[in-house]
Structure 1
Amino acid sequence: MTDAANASTEAKKEEKEADHHPYRRPVDAATLILVDRTASIPKVLVGKRHDKVVFMPGKFVFPGGRVDKSDNRVPVAAPIPQALEGNLLKGSPKISASRAKSLAVAAIREACEETGLCLGRKSSGATPKLEGAWKPFTEAGLLPDPSGLFLIARAITPPGRVRRFDTRFFTADASAITHRVEGVIHPDAELIELVWVEIGSKPLADLHPMTKNVLGELERRLATGPLKHDAPVPFFHFYGGKMQKDVLA
């Protein structure tokens, strides 16, 4: 089935759901797609969700989740690149620089929480003591490092869904992983398995249609060479029951 057919099928499901659920404002979320480009065909990291979780049981997904209120206050090893901030500030509604930072930081936090893979860097001075989800960074003497992130796409969950997210999809090279937390992936965890898979391989065929659209954008950008911040960033959203694809401006 083509992406267009998938999108049409999803739109029909969403229109049906809209009859049962009131309008919900989407909440900010971030997803991180880690890429290994050491071989001729790039590989991306996906996790298999537990069969008993409510959302997308048994599916392969990229790590991600909603932004926490504290994400913009977390100290970082380096600021987000100006060009990345510029991309995050594009679109509507307009957001602040601190909110842009929180989106990038949330992508790093979610990846570490769900996969145990942390993108950080040694701080130049004494490392601030971080708690909660950030404790692994403190234990490794690191601060989260969003300087190697690139924005690939933005997508908003259609109206009518029980959960709605305004998600920014980031990517980073696997070489940015500087710390691994053992024991995060196990049979009773949210993600029970991590797999590096070649783009275009079978496990990725079962991704959510919107996620496949984003992955297609990433594949096209990887094919042109090193990632650049000035590449157009697509914005997927639904209007009148149909998926629209615009470019953030």
Structure 2
Amino acid sequence: MKDSGAVKIELLTEDHQARTSEKRHAPRTPRDAASLILMDRSTAVPRALLGKRGKAHTFMPDLYVFPGGRRDPGDNRTSLAQPLRNEVSEKLMQRTKSRFLPFAARGLAVAAAREMQEEAHLSLTPPDRGDGLCPDVSHFRYFARAITPPGQSRRYDTRFFACFCDELGLDPSAIQDSDELHDLTWLPIDAHDTHPLPRITRVILTDLAQALEEDPSLPFGRTVPFYYFRNGRFVRELI
């Protein structure tokens, strides 16, 4: 029997082959991006927030994804209501190039919070900080990292953060569709077959279910699975 890591790699490789069989794009350098896996744990099975990308999107059209997007230059300069925990910041700096400085890691957390606000209309800025973007990212766990394989129309080096609604005082019913994501859905983390998801999203949801089974608090200092493509094969590494 294959272990879970082998099954995940097999799924990712299958997905890469399917998406590159008809057309491969010129080499592209992955751009830094961030995504937030926001969870509602008020139900027996925790649920994660996903939304459907429109048909017009070049990258992953018609698939359900976690809210997220690329890190913008302004994200590095945005003020925080509460910073990342030290163990999260330190983990984000691992396996990065010398030009990736601490303010870039901080900017990734801001990007995840900003995209959540833009795509799902859920603000992570405390009420006493006004209407601008000044998020509390102190509850963010660094949960996973994945680099889009070569040959895709877009390539991202995405860091996936995770946190719970109740930690930030968020109302799960307050989500609203946006131009970027519609049909926003709280998907039980073990219900992978009810919606069309990218393979990497299915893999990360599987990782998430296993992590929560091991420890429902989802510790901040846990190891981080890192998925990337090397020498024609997908690799799953732990950071």
Asked if Structure 1 and Structure 2 have the same fold, meaning a TM-score greater than 0.5 normalized by the shorter chain, the answer is yes
- Alignment check: 8 A CA contact 2:37 2:48 kept: yes
Superposed CA deviations along residues 27-52 of structure 1, whole A, max 9, x for unmatched, are 00000111111122111111122233
1:109 to partner: Cα distance: 0.3
Q: Distance in 2 between matches of 1:240 and 1:15?
A: 16
In the alignment, residue 69 of structure 1 is paired with which amino acid? P
Residue aligned with 1:10, SS: helix
Q: One-letter code of the match for 2:60? A: M
Give the structure 1 partner of residue 4 of structure 2.
Answer: none
Structure 2, unaligned stretches of length 5 or more? 1-6
User: Counterpart in 2 of 1:245?
Assistant: 236
Tell me which amino acid in the other structure corresponds to 2:185: V
Q: Secondary structure at the match of 1:101?
A: helix
Please state if 1:77 is matched with 2:77: no
Alignment RMSD: 2.5
Which of 149, 153, 158 in structure 1 is aligned with 2:144? Answer: 153
TM-score (norm. length: structure 2) = 0.86
Query: Which of 99, 102, 106 is the matching residue for 1:101?
Result: 106
Out of 43, 51, 55, which is 1:51 matched to? 55
Greater Cα offset, 83-92 or 199-208: 199-208
Correspondence for 1:67 among 47, 71, 81: 71
Change (3 A) 1:53 1:12: closer
Superposition deviation, residue 115 in structure 1 = 0.5
Q: Select the residue among 203, 220, 223 that pairs with 2:210.
A: 220
- The residue type equivalent to 2:124 in the other structure is L
What amino acid is the match of 1:172?
C
Q: Distance in 2 between matches of 1:216 and 1:91?
A: 23
CA distance in 2, matches of 1:65, 1:241: 26
Task: Determine the structure 2 residue equivalent to 1:185.
Answer: 177
Equivalent residue for 2:222? 231
In 1, Cα distance between the equivalents of 2:63 and 2:26?
Answer: 27
Deviations for 1:178-213, whole angstroms, at most 9, x for unmatched residues?
489x89526xx2222111121122556521111211
Give 1:55 deviation, angstroms: 2.6
2:43 alignment partner in structure 1: 39
Contact 1:37–1:173 (CA under 8 A) maintained in structure 2: yes
Q: How many angstroms apart in 1 are the aligned matches of 2:121 and 2:13?
A: 36
Match of 2:33 in 1: 29
CA distance in 2, matches of 1:118, 1:156: 27
Residues 13-68 of structure 1: per-residue CA shift (max 9 Å, x gap) = 46647x84322110000001111111221111111222333332222111010000
**Aligned residue in 1 for 2:198:** 208
Larger radius of gyration: 1
1:8 matches 2:9: no
Q: Aligned partners of 2:24 and 2:186: how far apart in 1?
A: 38
Structure 1 residue runs of 4 or more that deviate by more than 6 Å after TM superposition: none
Q: Distance in 1 between matches of 2:201 and 2:228?
A: 13
Q: Give the secondary-structure state (helix, strand or coil) at the position aligned to 2:38.
A: strand
Report the counterpart of residue 164 of structure 2 in structure 1. Answer: 173
Normalised to the residue count of structure 1, the TM-score between the two structures is: 0.83
CA spacing shift, 1:106–1:218, aligned 2, 3 Å: same
Identity within the alignment, % = 35
Q: Is the Cα–Cα contact under 8 Å of residues 35 and 42 in structure 1 kept in the other structure?
A: yes
The answer to whether the 8 Å contact 2:192/2:202 transfers is: no
Give the gaps of 5 or more residues in structure 1: 128-137
Which whole-Å CA distance do the structure 2 matches of 1:218 and 1:183 have between them?
22
Number of equivalent positions: 230
Secondary structure class of the residue paired with 2:34? strand
